[in-house]
Amino acid sequence: MTAIKRIGAVLAILLAGQSLAALAADLKDMIGSWRWQSFTIQVRECQGDSVCAKVIAGPKNVGLELFASKPAAKGGELFAQITHPETKETYNTRFQQKDKDRWQLDGCTGARVCLTGEFIRVK
């Protein structure tokens, strides 16, 4: 193996390791203020090792707690039941961290009404 190929292989391994680290979402990565649709959501530490999320601004239901279940990390993603701040329907939701300021969320209700969107950090 030539030196250039060895360097390339080492770089590939290092970059793969960084990608895996980026995928290892942690609950604490959600702490902060987020924009989702027309709502602003404040995520904070609560109950010791978990996070809580409350609607702090939006067209309705300000003060509503979003997490209907404790978020759980699994396979580099976070899973939780969330209450939609507009309809108050509960969705089984998967959160994927795209970068430090963006989370992609996908979820469906028991009646198979589905949603997708992004939490975008506002501060």
Contacts 24+ apart (CB under 8 A), 57-62: 58/85, 58/86, 59/86, 60/85, 60/86, 61/85, 61/86, 61/88
Cβ–Cβ under 8 Å, residues 55 and 85: yes
Q: What is the pLDDT along the chain (123 residues), one digit of tens a residue?
A: 554 444 434 334 434 443 333 445 678 888 999 999 999 999 999 877 889 999 999 999 999 999 999 998 888 899 999 999 999 999 999 999 999 999 999 999 999 999 999 999 997
Q: pTM score, two decimals?
A: 0.74
